[in-house]
Chains A and B, each alone.
Chain A
Amino acid sequence: MSRGARLEAVGLLTGWGEGVAALPADARVTAAGRAVLPLARPALDGARFRRATRECLLGVAAVEAMLREAGIERETIRGSGTALVFVTAAAYGASNVEWLAGQAGTLHFPYTAPSVLPGEVAIEFGLTGPYVILIGGPTATVDGLWQVGRMIATGQCQRALVLAVETFAECEALWRRARWTLPGPLVESAACALLGPGEAAVTFHARAEATPLERSAEARAGCTMACAPLVALALARAAGQEAALVSGTWRGRTAALELAIAGRPVRA
C-alpha cells in the first residue's frame, strides 16, 4: 500500500472549451451577461448511447479528456483496481424536469437517478472497482477527493477517478430564481481527475474561507459547482505546482484538502 495519493491528470471540458487554456481571464466579464454557458452534447459513437442523456455523454467525454491529458489508454483504468467517485450538485436536474413534464418515455426513468451517469461511465470504461456517488457542490468534490485518497492509501484500489458533471441549460429558469445565491455565470462543465498512489497523504484542512486557488478557479471559469475543485486542480497542474491546497465552498461550509500533484502537465 502507498502512504497516500497524488493527482496524475485532470480532463476538463467547460462551456469555454477544453482544458485550462480555453478559460478566459475573467469569466464574468467574458460571459457578457449570459446566465448559462452551455456545453454541447458530445457526439459519441455506439448504439448503446442512443438513450443516454447529454450529461451521461459529458461524463464519458470528460474521462476521455482525462485519458488524453494523462497520455494513457483505456485499458489502464479498466477493471476492479480503479475506483470511481462521481460528484454533482445538479446534473440530474435536466432528466428530472423532463420526467416530471411527462414528455419522456418509460425507459427514461432510470436516467433520473444521479447514479446512472456514472453507471454509463463505468460501463463504457469497464470500471468495476469501489464506487461512490456524492451530491453537492464544491465541498462534495473535496469530500470525494478525500474519499479516493483514503481508498488508495488503504489499498482498496490502485487508482481512482473523481468525476464531476454539471449542466444547467434545461433548468435555467429554476436557477434564475436562485441567482442571488450563486456567483454566476453558470458554466456547464465536466471534469475528471485521475489519482494514483503517492507518498503524501490526502489531508483535510479546517478552513473558514476559500483558498486563493478556489477564488482563481471561480474567476477564470465562473460557477461550475462540483467541477470547481477539479478546475482548480487543473489550474494548479498547468502552473507546474507540486501540491495544491484546494477548497470548495457550498451552503456556507468550506472544505479544503492538500493534494500532491505528479509530474508536469502534458498540455497547458
Chain B
Amino acid sequence: MVVVTSGSRPSARPSRSLEPVAIVAAGVVTPIGLELDAFWSGLLAGADGISAIERFSVADLRVGRGGEIKKLPAVALGVRSRAEAMLVAAAADLQARARLDAAPERIAVCVGTALGGVDELDHALTGDAGARRALDGLYDSPGHALAAWLGARGPVVTVSSACASGATALGVGADLLRDGAADLVVAGGYDVLCRFVMRGFDALRSLARDRVRPFDRRRTGLLLGEAAGLVLLARERDVRGPRLGRLLGHGCASDASHVSAPDAEGRGLEAAIRAALTAADVGVDDVDFISAHGTGTVLNDRIETAVLRRVLGNRSGAVPVNSIKGALGHTMGAAATLEAIMCLLAGRDGWIPPTVGFEEADAACDLDYVPGACRASRPRRMLSTSLGFGGCNAALVLEAAA
C-alpha cells in the first residue's frame, strides 16, 4: 500500500520549472484484463483482445469486431452508464493499490475522453425520456460520476482532445498539482465501444477487415476498443513509499491542417514531442523506449514513423517503438493513459511488450517495432505519442521508478 502525505501549501503563482509529479499507482479495465496485473500479463503474452462485438447490433456494418469487454467487474454492476461503470472499475482497481489519503476537497479528477456519455445520449433519444439520462449524455458526466464515487470534491476536469485525451488529461492533472489546486489527482482516460462510434469509423472505411497490424506492410486500418485507465498523481515531494514512476513532461500542439486526417508532415506531432521533451528537460538521447500511437492505418503509421525518425536522428534504429493497439484495439480516450501505464510497467519489470499484429516490415516504417514477443529491456525514460481528430497531438515523457 502506498502512503501519500497530503497538505502541501498551494503555490502563490504558477511555478516556472516543472516540479516532478509522481505516478503513484494505476488501475485499469481493458479487453485483455479487468485489472492491472491481468492487463500487463496479457500485453507481455501478446494477447489479442479483439472479438466479435456482442453488446449492440453490428449486422449492417462492414466490420463487426473490436476490443469489447465482455463482462465488467462486479464493482461496476448496477452502474447505469457503461462509461461510468468502466471508470468505477478502473478506480476500484486503483484504490486496491493506493489510498487516496487527502481531504476530499484536495482530491481532483481529470479524465480524458473522445466520446464521453454519447452512448447515454443515444438512449435518451431512443427510449429513456428522463431528465437524468439526457444530462448523462453530456461528455463531462462520467468524470463527475467518478468524482462522486471516489468522494473527491476538488476540481473535476474533462479533456476531450479526441484520441489524445488520455495524454493531455495526465498533463493537465500534473499542472493542477504543480499549482497547488489539489494534493492528489486521479487522472486518466476512458471510452466505450458503442454503435455511435463503430458506425462512424465504419462509414469512413477506417476499420481493418482482418486484424490490426501497426506498422506492418499489410496494415489496412484500425479496430476500436473500449477501456478505462486511471493513475494516481501526487507531487513527488509528498509521496512516501513505492510508486510506478514519474511524469516528467507533457506537450500538446495543433496541426491546423485537417479536421480528421493527421498533418501530412506530422508537424503538430513533432511540436508536441519536442514540447514534452523540453518540459521534461530530457534530451532525445535519454529516451530509451517509445510507445507510439500506432493505429494501424496506412497514413498514421507512415507519418508517425517519419516524425520519430526526425526526432530521434541517428538513434532512430536503436530505440524500441511499440504499439499496443494490436492487442486492445484503439481505445480512444483511454489509449494514451494505458500506453503511459504500459511504459511504466516496462520500466518496472524490464520487459517491453511486443507490437501485436506486426509481422512484415514496410519500407516506409523502418523503426524497431518490437516484433513477435516481449523483449527483455528495462527502459528508464520513455516517450508516448498520441494523435486525434481536430488536429490534436500530445506527447508524454515518463520515467520509471528507480
Binding site for B on A (CB under 8 A): 1, 3-4, 80, 84, 89-90, 92-93, 96-97, 99-101, 106, 109-120, 122-123, 125-136, 139-140, 143, 146-147, 149-150, 153-156, 174-175, 177-178, 180-181, 201-204, 251, 253, 255
Contacts and interface: CB of A to CB of B under 8 A. Distances in A.
Nearest to B200: A109
Nearest to A200: B13
Contacts of B271: 80, 128
B157 interface: yes
Contacts, number: 199
Contacts of A132: 159, 161, 168, 172, 252
**Most B CB within 10 A of own CB, among A114, A136, A181:** A114
A28 B76 CA distance: 42
Nearest to A117: B390
B253 A128 contact: yes
B129 A116 contact: no
A-B residue pairs, 10 tightest by C-beta: A115-B390, A201-B13, A119-B390, A109-B200, A131-B254, A110-B260, A122-B256, A106-B203, A177-B131, A135-B158
A133 B172 contact: no
Interface of B: 10, 12-16, 18, 113-114, 116, 118, 121-122, 124-126, 129-131, 134-135, 137-140, 144, 153, 155-162, 168, 172, 175, 179-181, 196, 199-201, 203-204, 251-260, 267-268, 271, 275, 279, 388-393
B111 to A, nearest CB: 10
Contact of B134 (A3, A80, A110, A177): A177
A253 B156 CA distance: 9
A51 B199 CA distance: 19
A122 B158 contact: no
Given A116-B259, A127-B256, A149-B14, A140 B390 contact: no
Contacts of A126: 256
Contacts of A178: 131, 134-135
A134 B138 CA distance: 12
Given A93-B137, A122-B255, A127-B256, 18 more contacts: A96-B137, A97-B125, A99-B199, A109-B203, A112-B200, A113-B162, A115-B391, A120-B259, A122-B256, A123-B256, A125-B256, A131-B161, A132-B252, A135-B138, A135-B139, A143-B157, A204-B10, A253-B156
B248 to A, nearest CB: 15
B253 to A, nearest CB: 6
B175 A133 contact: no
B204 A133 contact: no
A243 to B, nearest CB: 14
A80 B122 contact: no
11 contacts: A90-B138, A96-B196, A113-B160, A115-B392, A116-B259, A134-B160, A154-B14, A181-B131, A251-B140, A253-B156, A255-B155
B116 A135 contact: yes
Contact of B196 (A3, A100, A120): A100
Contacts of A201: 12-14
Contact of A128 (B12, B125, B259, B267): B267
A146 B203 contact: no
Contacts of A99: 196, 199-200
Contacts of B157: 134, 136, 140, 143
Contacts of B201: 109
Contact of B389 (A101, A113, A129, A131): A113
Contacts of B16: 1, 153-155
Contacts of B279: 156
A251 B158 CA distance: 13
Contacts of A90: 138
Contact of B179 (A4, A150, A180): A150
Contacts of A106: 203-204
Contact of A97 (B121, B138, B254): B121
B254 A133 contact: no
A8 B310 CA distance: 37
Contacts of A155: 16
